Amino acid sequence: MSLIHASAAQLLTQLESGEITSVELTKACLAQIDAADKQVGAFLKVMRDSALEQAESVDARRKKGEKLGRLAGVPVAIKDLLCTQGETTTCASKMLENFVPPYDATVIAKLKAADAVLIGKTNMDEFAMGGSTENSALGVTRNPWDLKCVPGGSSGGAAACLAASMAPLSIGTDTGGSIRQPASFCGVVGLKPTYGVVSRFGLIAFASSLDQIGPMARTAEDAAILLEAIAGYDPHDSTSANVKTPAYSQSVKQPLKGLRLGVVKEHFGEGLDSEVEQATREAIHVYKSLGATVSDVSLPHSKYGIAVYYIIAPSEASSNLARFDGAHYGHRTDEAAMLEQLAQERAALEAAGDEAGLAKLDTSLVRMYRQSRAEGFGPEVKRRIMLGTYTLSAGYYDAYYLKALKVRRLIRQDYDAAFKNVDLVIGPTAPTPSFAAGTKTDDPLSMYLGDLYTVTANLAGIGGISIPCGFSKSGLPIGLQLQGPPLAEERLLQAAHMFQTATDWHERRPELS
């Protein structure tokens, strides 16, 4: 198998035995990026020089017999909303187009400590808002399986770079399905861990109580290796879980005896594509053939998931994004032009004797805020800021935000009840395979429905994984989702690995010209 298609686990073995060097591997990935990324557009920035430097240094240290980190020499792609010291971190927004963080996110620091090679920053929906990576202000990403189609989102670049063999591992983030849905669309593995398992420090927040960083890879085993490297309690994140990190990479290959799977009734209703349903049902059969017992479970409040999510996430986002005001960093409007414009407006109002107009005229500070934000944010971000500002405002708080919090609790209780009888729940990741670019951009609601099966895990704070389980007739990947109780990442990864020992969907690669 060529280097670029190999799994991280295989590559680590080859690197350790000296069969290959990190420089060779990194160069192979860079060559694939050169060859394919013009079409795919997975990367916003390729960190060519620093990646090669890092690879050389790992090779040199390995030669000297130094002890190296767990990911020594393996390239990892980073979703461009994890602060990376000295490298632009843009969130695919004009607002942060030139923002260079002075510090590393904890996950980045952990990857560096594991001697991973940071190969580049991947494209995404602006501030992680969206399900198709069409909301990026800085680039277009396409699905490597069909360049007319979207890679999913918001971690579209993170999924596409894996599918197109540009990197063996990548880091995504998932607020409502942003790891699992693109993993499903691109035919790769994506794990959203339990809230708190991976530190959020340095993750540019979209919705703080839902955001979680997770591993994306082509195999469950690789996802386990990557999760092991980035998980763990972080004193810089007070919501991080103070628990010992399991040895995911060790336990992933242990088959689960007597695995009890619960099929979520509510995931097989209206809106589910028949090909996706078919593939999911076949995947359930595979599990049965592997000895799992399957029963039905009900998550009665899951039907409110989208509604609750689109209240809570925009509410938090409206507050999290307030810091982008043009004052301290990020995009600021052209002040001279702005002041000139303001002076003209004032003069016109004065000439017209329009007292009311004058009283309403912005101060220069307010105009600076307004204009910087108007220019810096894209339409989807603005839409959610407006939505969140509305649902949090006095008079609406109780009806929307507070109500949503209550339903969020019920959703969690549904899961708690289900997990009394089953080890994991199983169902489709997304209601459909990928779709053609541009087909849903004018209909945000239909786009939001793509998160139907994934948002509830974020609302409940539990973990979920998407693994490839088939293809549509038109050749697009289909994802299978498993969700587990809090801190059941080991079980999720084991179950995913079990499936991958019995199937080969994850070994298929798109043909890129």
**Catalytic annotation, residues:** 79, 154, 178
Place of tokens 């600076």: 368
Query: Which stretch of DSSP H or E encloses residue 286?
Result: helix 274-289
d(CA 367, CA 326): 11
Choosing from 63, 148, 281, 323, the residue that interacts with other proteins (CB under 8 A) is 323
Q: Which is nearer to other proteins, 105 or 124 (CB)?
A: 105
Tell me the C-alpha distance between 116 and 94, whole Å.
Answer: 29
121 vs 267, beta carbon nearer other proteins:
121
Site string for other proteins, 227-246 (x = CB under 8 A): --------xxxxx-------
CB of 392 to other proteins, least distance (A): 4
To other proteins, the closest distance from the beta carbon of 203 in angstroms equals 6
Binding window for other proteins (CB under 8 A); candidates: 144-152, 322-330, 456-464, 470-478? 322-330
Q: At closest approach, how far in Å is the CB of 496 from other proteins? A: 29
Q: Does 325 bind other proteins (CB under 8 A)?
A: yes
Under rule CB under 8 A, which residues in 108-147 are in contact with other proteins?
none
The radius of gyration of the chain's CA atoms, rounded to the nearest angstrom, is 23
Measured distance CA(210)–CA(232) in Å, rounded? 18
Which residues, including other chains, have CB under 8 Å from residue 105's CB and lie 6 or more apart?
A: 82, 83, 84, 199, 201, 202, 203
Nearby residues of 393 by Cβ (< 8 Å), 6 or more positions away: none
Query: CB of residue 428 vs other proteins: minimum separation in angstroms?
Result: 29
Contact window for other proteins (CB under 8 A) among 200-208, 427-435, 467-475, 490-498: 200-208
Q: Please, which residue, 208 or 439, has the CB nearer to other proteins? A: 208
Tell me: does residue 314 bind other proteins (CB under 8 A). Answer: no
- The residue within the footprint of other proteins, chosen from 47, 51, 96, 167 (CB under 8 A), is 96
Which is closer to other proteins, CB of 358 or CB of 417?
A: 358
b (16+ CB within 10 A) / e for 70-107: bbbbbbbbbbbbbbbeebbbbbbbbbbbebebeebbbb
CA distance 47 to 50: 6
Instruction: Count other C-beta atoms under 10 Å from residue 142's C-beta.
Output: 21
Is 372 strand, coil or helix?
Answer: helix
State the nearest-atom distance from the C-beta of 318 to other proteins, in Å: 8
**Does 203 sit near other proteins (CB under 8 A)?**
yes
Q: Report the C-alpha gap between 476 and 198 in whole angstroms.
A: 31
Q: Which is nearer to other proteins, 325 or 380 (CB)?
A: 325
Q: Which stretch binds other proteins (CB under 8 A): 16-24, 69-77, 159-167, 386-394?
A: 386-394
Which two tokens mark 430? Answer: 């997304």
| Stretch of residues binding other proteins (CB under 8 A), selected from 47-55, 194-202, 270-278, 412-420 | 194-202
For the segment 45-84, give every residue that binds other proteins (CB under 8 A). Answer: 81-83
In the bound complex, what is the minimum distance in angstroms from residue 232's beta carbon to other proteins?
A: 15
Decide if residue 91 touches other proteins (CB under 8 A). Answer: yes
Closest by alpha carbon to 291, among 252, 259, 262? 259
Binding other proteins (rule: CB under 8 A), the pick from 88, 298, 341, 389 is 389
Q: Distance between CA atoms of 496 and 494, rounded to whole angstroms?
A: 5
Query: 5-24: which residues touch other proteins (CB under 8 A)?
Result: none
Contact map string, positions 356 to 375, toward other proteins, x by CB under 8 A:
---------xx--x------
**Smaller CB separation from other proteins, 200 or 218:** 200
| Separation CA 47–CA 108 (nearest Å) | 14
Least CB distance to other proteins at residue 294 (A)? 36
105 touching other proteins, by CB under 8 A: yes
200 interacts with other proteins by CB under 8 A: yes
Q: How far are the Cα atoms of 97, 317, 323 from residue 157, in angstroms, in the given order? A: 17, 22, 26
Please tell me the distance from the alpha carbon of residue 201 to that of residue 212, in angstroms, as a whole number.
10
386 part of the interface to other proteins, by CB under 8 A: no
Per the structure block, which two tokens stand in for 117? 């090679």
CB 331 within 8 A of CB 372: yes
Which residue blocks in 114-179 are alpha helix, DSSP H?
Answer: 156-163
Sheet containing 43-46: which strands, arranged edge to edge? 43-46, 117-122, 75-79, 169-174, 212-217, 189-192, 463-471, 477-484, 424-428, 260-264, 293-297
CA dist., res. 121 & res. 119, Å (int) = 7
Q: How far is the CB of 334 from other proteins (least distance, A)?
A: 17
Q: How far is the CB of 201 from other proteins (least distance, A)?
A: 5
Instruction: Using the minimum distance from each CB to other proteins, give the nearer residue, 238 or 513.
Output: 238
The least distance separating other proteins from the CB of residue 176, rounded to whole angstroms, comes to 15
Is residue 318 within 8 Å of 389, Cβ to Cβ? Answer: yes
Residue number, 79 or 218, with CB nearest to other proteins: 79
Which range touches other proteins (CB under 8 A), out of 325-333, 348-356, 473-481, 505-513? 325-333
Q: For binding to other proteins (CB under 8 A), which residues are involved?
A: 81-83, 89, 91, 96, 99, 101-103, 105, 200-205, 207-209, 235-239, 315-316, 318-319, 321-325, 327-330, 365-366, 369, 389, 392-394, 397, 401
